[in-house]
Amino acid sequence: MAVQISGTTVIDNSRNITNGGSGSFSSTVTVGAQSSSGHLTQKSYVDSLVSGAGGEILQIVSTHTTSQSNSATGTSWTQLSTLNRSITISSSSSKILIVAGVCFGSSANFAYFAFSRNGSRIGTGSDESSAPGISGGRVLDVDDFVCQWGGSYLDSPGSSSGTTLTYGIQFRPGAPSGDIIYVNRSGTVSGDYYNTNGASNITLYEIKP
């Protein structure tokens, strides 16, 4: 519902002002009384969020890197240390949304990726014999090209308020035959136009449940 001010200015529900001009309210406008002086309570009156409602983003942290690194050979997982990102949670009930993208090349046909929290894989399928639990993977057409893996995961760490958590990405080749996964570069470096270099990133959102 729009509010009419002296017939010249209209403020709509999106807080846009159209047909601007001078004017005055014909009667007192009451916004509502705050239940406390806290930031979240004040913010709820501005953003139309009910005080105590979930879904609010409390903080965002991000890391972007062009650093080049590579995996170990075989079936061991390698922590991509340049994408490790720490966040100190403000509530024990907070959820952390992880959004990441990794540029990579390989001497292998398969590259596997997994999200991690404090060095342990999370958000993956189950490990079964020689089949690893992963958050995602990619089949490479040829060694020369740079590809990209991207994914997201909503984590419920259940840690105490004030706890600092470190999230990141782990990666490994899909086969134990001596293959290597390269981050932010192709599997070969020959100077040809398709041997491009890449950039990778990770962003963490602390969300009020």
Each residue of 18-36: pLDDT tens digit? 555 555 555 655 555 555 5
Q: Residue 41 has what DSSP assignment?
A: H
Where do runs of H (alpha helix) occur along the chain? 39-47
- pLDDT tens string 131-169: 778 888 776 655 667 888 999 999 999 999 999 999 999
In the chain, which segments carry CATH 2.60.120.1340?
57-207
- Give the residue among 186, 172, 179 at the shortest CA–CA distance from 134: 172
CATH topology of domain 57-207: Jelly Rolls (2.60.120)
H-run or E-run covering 22:
none
Cα end-to-end distance, the chain, whole Å: 30
pTM beyond 0.85: no
